[in-house]
Chains A and B, each alone.
Chain A
Amino acid sequence: MSSAFNFVSHLAGEKNAAICSAGLVAAVVAISAVKAKSSLKREPNPLVPDSRLSLRALYDLLGGFILWLGDSAMGKENRKYLPFAGIVFLYVLSLNLLGLIPGFLMPTDQFQFNLGMALTVFVMFNYWGIREVGLFNYLKHLWGPFKGIFLVLGIILFPIEVISMCVRPLTLGLRLYGNMTGDHLALAVFTDITKVLVPVAFLLLGTIVCFVQAFVFALLTMIYIRLAVAHGEH
């Protein structure tokens, strides 16, 4: 299997391809979001949706979906963290979908890149958790319920909790990376074997995987945030 032709690595070099295409996607997402926002301001009645699929309608759809996801995964009381989780979803989704355009490779099939995104999520939810409940309560939460037998059991539970907390960015990055790489490899193998028609099914599968993995990344981000900022009543 030869490595596929890639516009970005052709222009920016093999080493910088992932980071350059990520910057390209970030620029596209930012510019389209600003355009959608300004078209929302120009509208006399923004509550009425557009009659056809415009940029604003697309962002309405995505925003509604992100709001539903956030309300069911984080709860209505944590809506102030929704913009972060929402932009994580949009960004990962756009990065994944870039791989479906011929001549581009997705940056999410580089483990280091996913690890960077996952570490951002890790730092943010720890920061919010500590800001919400205080450093001592945050650590106490890892110890388990602070009474009775659990005071002693915490000696065993605390290291386990800390380890499971610290592998969260690793698993978050590795899951996305494994899925995207595996899917891309399956597509490449079946395109090599059968030149016509069968790759279409794998492209369809690839589109579904792109959506599902972005969804899962955002869902896990939201759940980690909810677990971090929860006030324990025990």
Chain B
Amino acid sequence: MRLISSVLLVAFGLLVMVEPAIAAEGAAMAEHAGWAAIIGMAVAAVGGAVSQSKAISVALESIARNPGAAGQMFLPWLLALVFIESLVIYALVIALKLVGLI
């Protein structure tokens, strides 16, 4: 019991000492928020573009093989595109938040 409480006390002390360092790091992070937004948005756009192009090319191939199934495939395909796209949109929201546009 004493061991646990002393460990907790030391941890708390460390936390208190580390806290100003974290605050300073936060200020440095705010400086680089623009870069973070650019890089994050770029990575999200690349990922979304690659996966959407894969989905589109597979859908077009299968429509070319079997044009009769195009109507049935349309809604699931659109839903898949929407789910991929929404991940990019989350990155966009975070990027806009980082640069303070919203």
Contacts and interface: CB of A to CB of B under 8 A. Distances in A.
Partners in one complex: yes
Interface of A: 72-73, 171, 174-175, 177-179, 181-182, 185, 216, 219-220, 223
13 contacts: A72-B75, A174-B89, A174-B90, A175-B82, A175-B89, A178-B90, A185-B96, A185-B101, A216-B78, A216-B82, A219-B75, A219-B79, A220-B82
B102 interface: yes
Given A174-B89, A175-B82, A185-B96, 20 more contacts: A72-B75, A73-B75, A171-B86, A174-B93, A175-B86, A175-B89, A177-B93, A178-B90, A178-B92, A179-B89, A181-B93, A181-B102, A182-B89, A182-B92, A185-B101, A216-B82, A219-B78, A219-B79, A220-B79, A220-B82
Contacts of B92: 178, 182
A68 B79 CA distance: 16
B79 A223 contact: yes
Nearest to A222: B75
Interface string B7-23: 00000000000000000
Interface string B69-87: 0000001001100100010
Contacts of B90: 174, 178
Contacts, number: 34
A178 B75 contact: no
A72 B90 CA distance: 28
Interface string B34-60: 000000000000000000000000000
Nearest to B101: A185
B96 A181 contact: yes
Contacts of B96: 181-182, 185
A173 to B, nearest CB: 11
Contacts of B86: 171, 174-175, 178
B28 to A, nearest CB: 27
Nearest to B79: A219
A6 to B, nearest CB: 16
A133 to B, nearest CB: 24
Contacts of A73: 75
B101 to A, nearest CB: 7
B56 to A, nearest CB: 15
A72 B73 CA distance: 11
